[in-house]
Amino acid sequence: MTWDIMLILLVDGLSTGAIYLLAGLGFVLVFSVTRVIFIPSGDIAAFAALTLAAFQSRMIPGSIWLVAGMAVLACLAECTTLLRNGAARQVPRAIFFYAVLPLIPCGVGLAIASHDVPEALRIATTIGLILPMGVLIDRLTLRPLADASTLILFIVAIAVHFLIAGIGLIAFGPEGVRTTPILDGMVPLPGDILIPAQQVLMMVVALLLSLVFYLFFGRSITGKALRATASNRVGARLMGIRPERAAAAAYLIASALAAVVGILIAPITTMYYDSGFMIGLKASVGAIIGGMASYPITAIGSVFIGILESWASFVASDYKEIIIFSVVIPVLIWRSFAVHRDSDEEIEELA
Amino acid sequence: MSGPLLELEDIHVAYGKVEAVRGINLKLDEGRITTVIGANGAGKTTLLSAAAGLLPWRGRAQYQGRDLARMSAEDRVERGFCLVPEQRALFGDMPVLDNLLLGAYVRRRDKTFVRKSLESVFEQFPRLAERRAQEAQTLSGGERQMLAIGRALMSQPRLLLLDEPSLGLAPTIVRDVLTRVRGLRDQGVSILLVEQNARAALDVADHAYVMDTGEFVLEGPASDLATDPRVIATYLGGSSD
C-alpha cells in the first residue's frame, strides 16, 4: 500500500466517519434520554436523501404526505389522551405542536416542488420536512410504551423500522437516487492527490455540528436539562423537567442530524427507500463503542468505524461488513468488564 | 381563614395487590415542620413519593386548595412543591453548579432570580460553593445531602418534602442537616420531614405522625410525642443519636 492510497483511504474513511459520527450522536442522545435505540433514524436519513432528490427533479416528494398523515394521526392521539385526562386546556397547544408546525414545511414543499428555486431553499425545506419525523414516530409508536423495558422498546423500534421502510417504498418508490453534490469540484492535497469537495464538506459539517452539539449540551440550560433527564430521570422530574418534552427535544435533534446525514451522503451514494438501515446499523457500532452514553467516545468510535470501513473495502471488500460488525464483540466484552452499577433511580425499591 | 397548605385524606398507595399506604389522613400547616416517623418499611417513603406525584394513589389530596389528582409531579414543582428523595436523585455525572442551576429549572427564564437563589444557597452551604466545579458523584455523603437540599431550594419552594435526610450520615452531620432544616422553616419554608431517626426528627419538628405498617397510629405535637411512653418504648428506646 503506497502513501497515496493510504491518504485517499484515510480521507474517504474520515468522510464516512463524519456521517457515522452525526448519526451516532443522535443514537446516543435519544437512547440516553428515552432508553430507545432509535433504529428508524437511518430510515429518516434515507428519506431526507429521497426528498431532496425529488425536489431536484421537480417532483412532489412522498415525505410530504407521510409527514402530513403522521401529523394528523399524532395530533388526534395527543388530543384524545389530553381529553381523557381532563386536560382540555392543553389541546390548542397540542394542535399547534403536532399538527400546525409539521404542516408548515409540507405546505412550503408543495409550493416549491414544481418550481425552479435555489438549491438552499430545497435543502432547507427538506430539513424542515424531516425535522418532525422523529417526534411524530415517537408519539405514534413508542410514547405509549415509555415505561416498558429497554428490550421491549428495542423490539418495537426494529418493528417501526420495517413499518417505516415499507411506507417509504409506497411513498418514494423502489428506484435509487443520487442528488447533485452541494459542492462541485476537487480539492488538491499535497502529493498531487485530488479529493472531491463534497467529502471535505462532509467533514467540515460534522466538525461544526459537533461543536454546536458540545456548546448546546455544555452551556444551555435546555441542553443541561436533557443531560439531567439522561443522568437521573426521577431527579429531573423533581426539578420540573417533563420527560415527554425532553424526549421530543431529543427526537427533534436526532431527526435534524439524520436529515443532515441524508443530504450529505446522497451525492456520493445511491440511496434507496431502505438504504437507511445499514447506515443506522453501522453508526450504532460507533454509539456502542461509546457505551450509548459518551458523546466524545462515540465520536472517536464513529470515525474509527469510518476509517475501518474504507480500509476494509480496499483490502477485503467482500468482508467489509463482517469486519465492521466484528468490532462490536471485543467492545461488548470490554464493556461488560468496565460496567459500573447503574444509577440509583429505581422507584421500585421504595417501600 | 386559610386552610392547611397540604391536606391528604384517606390516601391509599398500592404496589400491585400489596397496599403499602392504607387510608392516611394528614394536615400540614404553613410555616411548620411536620414529621412522619416510623420503622423501616412502614410506608413513609411510599407516602412521600405518592404525594410528590411519582406513584399512583387513591384518595383526596389538596395543595394550596388545589386538587393534586390533576397535577403531575412537574406541575407540583412549578407551584413550589418539592421533594428531596431518599436516594437524593442527583445528576452524578454533572458538576455541582449544574445540579444547582437545574434546581431552578422552572424559573430558568428569570436570570436575576436564578443568580440570587444561587448566591443564597452558596451562602447557606459554603461547601457547595467550594466544590461547584466537581462532579456530584465525587461528593461525600453529607455533601450530597447538602447538594440535594440546596438544589431543591434553588426554586425557592413553599413546601419541601425531605425523605430521610439523615440516612447514611454521621451523627454530627445529622445534627447539622437538621439544624439547617429548622433554619429553612424560620425562612418561611413549610417542611414535611420523613425520618427513621425518630429522636432527631421529634427534636426539630412542630407536629408529628407515627406510621406503622401503612397507617398512622399516633399524632400530636412533636414535644408531646417525644415524651409519650409508647413512642419511647418503640421508637426512641434503642436510639443513641
Dihedral pair phi/psi, residue A331, rounded to 5°: -65, -45
Residue type, A295: Y
B52 neighbourhood in chain A, CB within 8 Å: 238
Q: Where are the domains of chain B?
A: 6-235
A343 neighbourhood in chain B, CB within 8 Å: 92
> Quick one: closest CA in B to A293, which residue?
B93
Interface size, chain A vs chain B, as Cβ–Cβ contacts under 8 Å:
87
Q: Where are the domains of chain A?
A: 3-175+188-350
Please give the Cα distance from A45 to A271 (Å, whole number).
10
Q: What is the pLDDT of residue A340?
A: 55
A330 burial (CB, 10 Å; 0-12 / 13-18 / 19+) is exposed
B206 burial (CB, 10 Å; 0-12 / 13-18 / 19+) is middle
Question: In Å, what is the CA distance from A177 to each residue of A52, A55, A57, A73, A267?
Answer: 10, 12, 10, 29, 9
User: Could you report how far apart the first and last alpha carbons of chain A are, in Å?
Assistant: 65
| ipTM, two decimals | 0.92
A interface toward B at CB cutoff 8 Å?
A: 86-87, 221, 224-225, 227-228, 231-232, 234-242, 343-345, 347-348, 350-351
Chain B closest-CA separation from residue A9 CA (Å): 37
- Count CB-CB contacts under 10 A for residue A251: 30
> Going by DSSP bridges, is the β-strand pair B81-84/B159-163 parallel, antiparallel, or unpaired?
parallel
Q: Which residues of chain A have pLDDT under 70?
A: 1, 339-351
CB hemisphere CA count around B78 (13 angstroms): 9
Chain A closest-CA separation from residue B185 CA (Å): 21
Please give the Cα distance from B86 to B142 (Å, whole number).
13
Residues 6+ apart with CB under 8 A from B56: B13, B50
CB B37 within 8 A of CB B230: no
Packed helices A276-289 and A328-338: angle between N→C axes, nearest 10 degrees:
40
Is B102 close to A238, i.e. CB distance below 8 A? no
Of B73, B94, B106, the CB nearest to A227: B94
Q: What is the pLDDT of residue A341?
A: 45
Sheet holding B66-67, edge to edge: B18-28, B6-15, B58-63, B66-67
Please give the Cα distance from A76 to B157 (Å, whole number).
36
Of A225, A347, A351, the CB nearest to B102: A225
**Residue B76: DSSP 8-state:** H
What is the domain class of A3-175+188-350 according to CATH? mainly alpha
Chain B closest-CA separation from residue A213 CA (Å): 17
Q: What is the pLDDT of residue A206?
A: 95
CB A52 within 8 A of CB A341: no
pLDDT along chain B (241 residues), means of 10: 85 91 94 93 93 94 92 94 94 96 95 95 93 95 92 95 88 85 92 91 94 93 91 71 43
What fold is seen in the domain B6-235? Rossmann fold (3.40.50)
Of A231, A242, A348, the CB nearest to B91: A231
Q: HEC states along chain A?
A: CCHHHHHHHHHHHHHHHHHHHHHHHHHHHHHHHHCCCCCHHHHHHHHHHHHHHHHHCCCCCHHHHHHHHHHHHHHHHHHHHHHHCCCHHHHHHHHHHHHHHHHHHHHHHHHHCCCCCCHHHHHHHHHHHHHHHHHHHHHHHHHHHCCCCHHHHHHHHHHHHHHHHHHHHHHHCCCCECCCCCCCCEEEECCCEEEEHHHHHHHHHHHHHHHHHHHHHHHCHHHHHHHHHHHCHHHHHHCCCCHHHHHHHHHHHHHHHHHHHHHHHCCCCCECCCCHHHHHHHHHHHHHHCCCCCHHHHHHHHHHHHHHHHHHHHHCHHHHHHHHHHCHHHHHHHHHHHCCCCCCCCHHHCC
The grid coordinates of residue A224 equal 443541561
Chain B closest-CA separation from residue A157 CA (Å): 27
> Quick one: closest CA in A to B106, which residue?
A240
